[in-house]
Amino acid sequence: MSDREQNAWPVISIIGQTATGKTDAALSLANTLLAEAKIKNILISGVDLISADSRQVYKGLEIISGADIPAGWDLDKHQNLPFQFFQQNNGLLRLHGVAIIQADLEWSVGQFGRLVKSVVKLAEKENRVVILVGGTGLYHQSALKNDWQLQVPPDSITREKATAMTVLELQKWVESSAPEDYQKLNESDKSNPRRLVRVLEKHLFTSKNNLRNDRGSSLQINSQPQQMYFGLKSKETDISFKIRKRVESRIIQGVFKEIEKLISISASDQALTTLGVSQIGQLMRGEITKEECIDQWTQAEISYSKRQQTWWQGKDFVKWIDQNDANWLNQLQTIVLQELFRYNQ
């Protein structure tokens, strides 16, 4: 029995810094994959793309978060999936994880993992290939893990109580409730209310469910697929140039309406920290000029792209494609298809 008969298709991760065109590359790869599978008589019924981005999940922030929803794709829902998704009319391609929750809600790596597992489980049944695409490295590397700590749900009572506390009061609460977990935090985490609340939620959840020594998961998929990583790299000067052009484009596209709506509701801290929100807000209040807004937003995006690069440094399981090569897209498609189709042998 071949590997393909035993397991699901490997999950493909397309990674890289912001503005390297990961989504467009993934879409092109998906179409090429389906065409080549048809030629080789390999049964693949479709491709599911999942956005691995912690801000593109929010409805109403499609412009400022850079959610690349292909034109003409329709919203749809499947009974075995927790959220709506976008798809082409023929259903061959689906896009998950974009514009799926309201801006007043929180989103976590655990929730993302549950979304991925549900898509992978359905893809296994329907013989589809899954592609993760996006810049949040933690999401890629945690997507298929079955660590129970990633599955701890938000606790509304704990969060409501924490909002009325100072950081010092919150620190004392965590230290008294979960002293061992508190001591493991670095100084930055100890000063981060969201991180402190998350420690409390995990402690309360594990105590209630007696999971301290249980590393199992209630969200098993039929077979654990492998994960293949392919990265896009480019010159820093090229990335910086593309970032600025993209920022300018988003302002033209109507990002002000998104921010006006965002500030009119009780948006989550996570939504409010989307890159560009602070700068656009200052511009709307007349605190900075349009040019200063563009400069500051661009610099924030560049700083983020450098953090993305740092995350992937030294990870030798990533196969990198240099975009300075004129044929980089063909190289990406060739190497991915070679790696993928060998599971059909």
Written as tens digits, the pLDDT of the chain (345 aa) is 344 444 579 999 999 999 999 999 999 999 999 999 999 999 999 999 999 999 999 999 999 999 989 999 999 999 999 999 999 989 999 999 999 999 999 898 889 999 999 999 999 999 999 999 998 999 999 898 876 566 677 788 898 898 889 999 999 999 999 999 899 888 878 988 888 988 998 888 888 766 554 444 444 444 557 999 999 999 999 999 999 999 999 999 989 999 999 989 889 988 999 999 999 999 999 999 999 999 999 999 999 999 999 999 999 999 999 999 999 999 999 999 999 999 876
18 burial type by CB count under 10 A (0-12 exposed, 13-18 middle, 19+ buried)? buried
Q: What is the pLDDT of residues 217-265, one digit of tens each?
A: 444 444 557 999 999 999 999 999 999 999 999 999 989 999 999 989 8
Q: What is the pLDDT of residues 192-225, one digit of tens each?
A: 888 898 899 888 888 876 655 444 444 444 455 7
Q: Which helix (H) or strand (E) holds 337?
A: helix 328-341
> What pLDDT was estimated at residue 4?
44
Q: Where are the alpha helices (DSSP H) in 97-192?
A: 109-126, 137-142, 156-163, 167-177, 179-183, 187-190
Considering the entire predicted model, what is its pTM?
0.82
Pair of tokens at residue 157? 């009572």
Distances (CA, A) of 276 to 87, 230, 247: 28, 28, 8
Pair of tokens at residue 252? 């033209």
Of 91, 88, 87, 92, nearest to 34 by C-alpha is 92
